[in-house]
Amino acid sequence: MRRARLIAESDRHPWLLDEWRQPGVALERVLGQAIARQVERGVLEVCDPALAAHQLILVVIIEALTRTRYGRRRLGDAEAGEIVDIGVEMWLRCYRARPPDVG
């Protein structure tokens, strides 16, 4: 279902948005768990893995929405991969564990 129609119908059928969001909610939960494991290993410095997962998804999704003009243009595989790579790299710069200062 197209996003605009989904939003238009959500007043009469509020459950539609919940159903539409379910795959994203599951992805966010699994990603948060994976981030928490990396925190335990000392790879990432994250206080709230669930929030960090949400932020990573938003970085990628917002860029994809912008480039596709909110779904009016399809992304090729290479462009989609570039969006993900750039978003993940930016996110990692924020959350990658820093070595302790020596000296």
96: β partners: 44
Q: Go through the domains of the chain in sequence order and give each one's CATH number.
A: 3-95 (1.10.357.10)
The model's pTM is 0.74
Q: pLDDT tens-digit profile of 5-23?
A: 666 776 777 766 667 667 7
- Token look-up 């596709």 returns 68
Cα dist. 9→2, 3, 17, 18, 24 in Å? Answer: 11, 10, 9, 12, 20
Confidence of residue 70 (pLDDT cuts 50, 70, 90): confident
